[in-house]
Structure 1
Amino acid sequence: MRQWWALTTRGLASILRSGEFIFALASPVVLAVCFYLPLRSLMNKTPGMDYASFLMPVVALQSAAFVASAAAVRVAFDRVHGINTRFRSLPMPLLTPGAARLAANAVLLVASLACAAAVCLIIGWRPDGGVSGTVALFALAFAVGVALVLLADGIGLLAGSPEATSQVLTLPVLILGMLSTGFMPADRFPDWTRGFVRNQPISAFADAMRALNSGSASWSVLAPATWWCAALLLAGLVLVVVGTKKVRS
């Protein structure tokens, strides 16, 4: 536990020094402003559409994606600078460094999600699902964020350089985010893209979060998000274990 705590505080100090806390707080603000202001007049013409509430899930999810991207680059820099090799020479359990990185990233994730909630409240989002719905909404966002952080951590351990790590993460997040129901309903997309838009993970998470926020959640809506989150968590754990063993070998 002392080793875990020492490495966790080291990770938090690195996050503070690099300015990642500032960027984690600024990213949901930039995202909300860039999409809400240009699109609200168009989207609010749709009957029953409150675009601030519609946009809220993807703001939270993109905030989690930023934290994951920063985590991957950070662990890749540690690998390049030989930090992981130094840990290998210490009498330390195999997964202690990874558990410490996860704890530090979880703190950054909570801060980013809190900022996302604040900026969405400012633009007009209201938690209409009651206490249980709101807690479940942010629990889902946090679980997705943890899954993304684990995936990113594993990619950072396996990637050859921080630059390669950034490229591996940026393109999938960009494509999945834009081709999802996060920013607009599926019926606003061309016919040939709607199947992909409806059935990819970002859309599943966004739809589940909206259902929780409105108090209309059912298992048929929550199930795709649950299975996608479980799959991402499993994939992330596998990558972290494989990456950790590669560092140790």
Structure 2
Amino acid sequence: MTVTAKSLVAQNRVQQGGTISVPAKRVGAHRRANPSGLQQWLALTGRTVWTMIRYGEILVAILAPLIFTVGFYLPLKFVMQLRGVDYAQFLMPIIVMQAMAFTAISASQLSAMENANGFSTRLKTMPVVDAVPLLARMSSGVVRSAVSLTAALLFGHVIGFRFSAGFWQAALFCSFAMLISITLSLGADAIGSLSKSPEATAQALTLPQLILGMLSCGFVPEDGFPEWIRPFVRNQPISQFSFAMRDMAEGGVTASVLFPAAAWCLGLLAVFGPLAFWASMRRQ
């Protein structure tokens, strides 16, 4: 029986009050992908970490603390020894903070690059959870910071730095360093997300880092500065971080020393965090 004949038979049955069973639509074997926010975060973080490994950025994260250690320690070592200062122990916090600041600059370049090449805009047109790109960049930054921190501590051990306050103070030292890194990375990521030039972003962030670093108690004691600038040097965040981390490494930090450093860090985090989320999720 031909197709036309079958259609005529079916029409006659309908006219005679019969019914025709219509086969149900077959459900497609392939369903539309609907990844969760966790899957998206893992995919974007893995992509960024793999890019860091492929283009040697992890190697740079290892070499940067070496450059800071050699560049800061050798020129002032003998001068500080004449003043009775164990300079390896004194200098280590600022070396770690410089490494964390370097990570923040890298975070700003990454966000600016994704903004410039249209990757961020493309993600905003896809069913990606709004906060995932920022969280992925921060996660890859944490990986870079952990590598850089480990390298800085190894190089510090070579020049004579030691944790003499016990395991928990050493853990607090490392945790506080990572918190500083996340705080600075959020601020840098916000600037990078608002910019379309990775080079200009890095240059804009390098100058404040150098000024605050040099005008701090991280390299020399407070009495090494002119008296008129000592209040600023003593109370700015880099100096307060140095005081707390120095005590964490040797002797143990007290509440009176930890509180100003923690207040600075949490205050900056309260400002940079929302700013970074707004800059990352804004629709152009």
Q: Would you say same fold, with TM above 0.5? A: yes
Q: How many Å separate the matches in 1 of 2:252 and 2:113?
A: 44
Q: How much identity, in percent, do the aligned residues show?
A: 42
Aligned to 1:171: 207
Q: How many Å separate the matches in 1 of 2:192 and 2:168?
A: 35
Which deviations, in whole Å up to 9, do the C-alpha atoms of 1:66-120 show, x marking residues without a partner?
0110110111011000000110111111101111111111000000000000000
**1:78 and 2:114 matched:** yes
**1:28 and 2:65 matched:** yes
Amino acid at match of 2:51: S
**Quick check: 1:129–1:213 contact (8 Å CA) kept in 2?**
yes
3-state SS in 1 of match to 2:216: coil
**Quick check: 1:64–1:109 contact (8 Å CA) kept in 2?**
yes
Aligned to 2:48: 11
**Quick check: 1:155–1:239 contact (8 Å CA) kept in 2?**
no
**Quick check: 2:131–2:281 contact (8 Å CA) kept in 1?**
no
Q: CA deviation at 1:182?
A: 0.7
Q: CA deviation at 1:151?
A: 0.9
**1:139 and 2:164 matched:** no
**Match 2:86 to one of 50, 73, 89:** 50
Structure 2 portions without partners, runs of 5+: 1-37
Q: CA deviation at 1:33?
A: 0.6
Aligned to 1:231: 267
Larger radius of gyration: 2
Aligned to 1:115: 151
Aligned to 2:197: 161
**Aligned-residue CA RMSD in angstroms?**
1.1
When the two structures are superposed, what TM-score results if normalisation uses the length of structure 2?
Answer: 0.85
Q: How many Å separate the matches in 1 of 2:195 and 2:165?
A: 41
Q: How many Å separate the matches in 2 of 1:178 and 1:60?
A: 15
Structure ranking higher in helix proportion: 1
Q: How many Å separate the matches in 1 of 2:232 and 2:196?
A: 31
**Match 1:68 to one of 93, 104, 113:** 104
Deviates more, 1:233-242 or 1:30-39: 233-242
Q: CA deviation at 1:216?
A: 3.6
Structure of greater relative contact order (alpha carbons < 8 Å, 6+ residues apart): 1
When the two structures are superposed, what TM-score results if normalisation uses the length of structure 1?
Answer: 0.96
Which deviations, in whole Å up to 9, do the C-alpha atoms of 1:30-70 show, x marking residues without a partner?
111111112111101223x2100000000100000001101
Q: CA deviation at 1:11?
A: 0.8
Which deviations, in whole Å up to 9, do the C-alpha atoms of 1:109-141 show, x marking residues without a partner?
000000000000000001011101111111111
3-state SS in 1 of match to 2:82: coil
- Poorly superposed stretches of 4+, deviation over 2 Å: none
Q: CA deviation at 1:215?
A: 2.2
3-state SS in 2 of match to 1:159: coil
Structure 1 portions without partners, runs of 5+: none
Q: How many Å separate the matches in 2 of 1:126 and 1:59?
A: 14
**Quick check: 1:11–1:101 contact (8 Å CA) kept in 2?**
yes
